[in-house]
Amino acid sequence: MRLGVDVGGTTVKVGFIDNYEIVDRLVVETKKETLFDDVFVAVKEYATKKNYKIDGIGVGLPGHVVGTVIDRLPNVGISNLDVKPIANKYFPGVFVACTNDANAAALGELLADDDKKASAYMITLGTGVGGGLVIDGKVRDGSHSNCGEIGHMFVDYVHNYKCSCGLNGCLETVASATGIVRVANQYQHEFKTTLEGEITSAKAVIDAAKAGDPLGLFVLDVVADSLGRSISIIELAVDVDTFYIGGGVSNAGDILINRIADYYKRYAHYAVKDINIKRAKLGNDAGMLGAAYLW
Ligand SMILES: [Zn+2]
């Protein structure tokens, strides 16, 4: 049985996986100082009780990781830590692999589709914007384990908002949940809208768009434009079959995905116009499933 671990800020989700199916799961409350000990102690106890034999452990992490060594997890507050020796303390000799959570989710989504050896890219639209690349069924981290940092592509020439990374016009300044709130507030007074007062929630903007609100629809159009442009650029570099769109903002559904696809066609090179742009379907399970198939 394979173990897929999805590390979050305060809870860690663990999937017990057999033949691409999550057959059992565990959620572990953790403390920052003892996060991985907390996880593997709980897993060991549970696996022993259930008589599960663990053949390998894959871990998806919200930040920069090189091999099994965490460089920095900004939202968890962990840096410079090797996961492998901690895992092997509880599971001696078991194979351990790590990657960032966007890569793990990309692989998970691909594995849930028919062709497990295909190539795909996943874009996660959350507080920020992340990316994960799978080529021929294998996660690709890149030479600096940095190939998913697409949130900082310069694509928004129109607003050129300042980004947290120090650059301007980054994709995530408009296409993340925080970006949606930013754009909505800027254009609020130019539309007859049900969104009154200071707008603080991306979900409220998305819900308004779904109900046909002109400001909500305009904001989603800005988001879709920036994503269609970004995907057209990424596709020229990676040439994959499918882009999955996930994360909280993707809950906007077809109204967003179809617009992204329309903008993509407008910007895309003629040789790659015919690709799939789909909404991710596994939600939080994608990270666990993908992490379990890193080897
Ligand atoms: Zn940036």
196 pLDDT band, cuts 50/70/90, is: very high
Burial profile 61-97: b = 16 or more Cβ within 10 angstroms, e = fewer? bbbbbeebebbebeebebeebebbebbbebbeeebbb
Which distant-in-sequence residues (6+ apart) come within 8 Å of 120 by Cβ?
106, 109, 110, 113, 133, 134, 240, 241, 242, 243, 244
* Residue 150 region by backbone torsions, left for phi larger than 0, else alpha for psi between -120 and 50, else beta: alpha
> DSSP readout, 141-188?
--TTS-TT-GGG-B--TTT-PBPTTS-BSBTHHHHSHHHHHHHHHHHG
283 C-alpha to center of ligand 1: Å? 25
51 pLDDT above the threshold of 80? yes
Select from 3.40.50.300, 3.40.30.10, 2.40.30.60, 3.30.420.40 the CATH code of 2-108+285-291.
Answer: 3.30.420.40
Say if residue 268 is exposed, middle or buried (CB neighbours under 10 Å; 0-12, 13-18, 19+).
buried
Which distant-in-sequence residues (6+ apart) come within 8 Å of 45 by Cβ?
none
- Amino acid present at 44: K
240 C-alpha to center of ligand 1: Å? 24
pLDDT of residue 8: 82
Q: Assess contact for 173 and 157: CB atoms under 8 A.
A: no
Write the pLDDT tens digit of every residue in 98-115: 999 999 999 999 999 878
Write the pLDDT tens digit of every residue in 150-164: 999 999 999 999 998
65 pLDDT band, cuts 50/70/90, is: very high
Q: Which two tokens stand for residue 111?
A: 């594995």
Going from N- to C-terminal start, the domains of the chain cover: 2-108+285-291, 117-279
The mean per-residue pLDDT over the stretch 60-85 comes to 92
d(CA 214, CA 184): 11
172 C-alpha to center of ligand 1: Å? 7
Q: What is the mean pLDDT of the chain?
A: 94
Same fold, 2-108+285-291 and 117-279: yes
Q: Assess contact for 16 and 6: CB atoms under 8 A.
A: no
pLDDT of residue 113: 87
250 C-alpha to center of ligand 1: Å? 20
Share of the chain above pLDDT 90, in %: 86
78 C-alpha to center of ligand 1: Å? 22
pLDDT of residue 172: 95
178 pLDDT above the threshold of 80? yes
10 pLDDT above the threshold of 80? no
8-state DSSP, 10: S
Q: How many helices and strands (H and E) does the chain possess?
A: 9, 13
173 C-alpha to center of ligand 1: Å? 7
d(CA 286, CA 283): 6
Tell me the pTM: 0.90
Q: Which two tokens stand for residue 273?
A: 């116009």
286 pLDDT band, cuts 50/70/90, is: very high
Write the pLDDT tens digit of every residue in 37-46: 999 999 999 9
Write the pLDDT tens digit of every residue in 111-151: 998 788 899 999 999 888 999 999 999 999 888 888 888 99
148 C-alpha to center of ligand 1: Å? 13
Write the pLDDT tens digit of every residue in 235-273: 999 999 999 999 999 999 999 999 999 999 999 999 999
111 C-alpha to center of ligand 1: Å? 30
Q: Which two tokens stand for residue 108?
A: 């998970």
Angle CA 227–230–231, to nearest 5: 85
In words, the CATH class of domain 117-279 is alpha beta
21 C-alpha to center of ligand 1: Å? 36
pLDDT of residue 284: 85
82 C-alpha to center of ligand 1: Å? 28
pLDDT of residue 76: 86
pLDDT of residue 67: 93
39 C-alpha to center of ligand 1: Å? 32
Angle CA 58–146–273, to nearest 5: 100
182 pLDDT band, cuts 50/70/90, is: very high
Taking the mean position of all CA atoms in its chain, how far away is CA 96? Answer: 21
Return the beta strands (E) in the chain as ranges.
2-7, 11-18, 21-29, 56-61, 64-66, 69-73, 78-82, 95-100, 120-125, 129-135, 138-139, 242-246, 276-279
200 pLDDT band, cuts 50/70/90, is: very high
Taking the mean position of all CA atoms in its chain, how far away is CA 278? Answer: 14
pLDDT of residue 85: 98
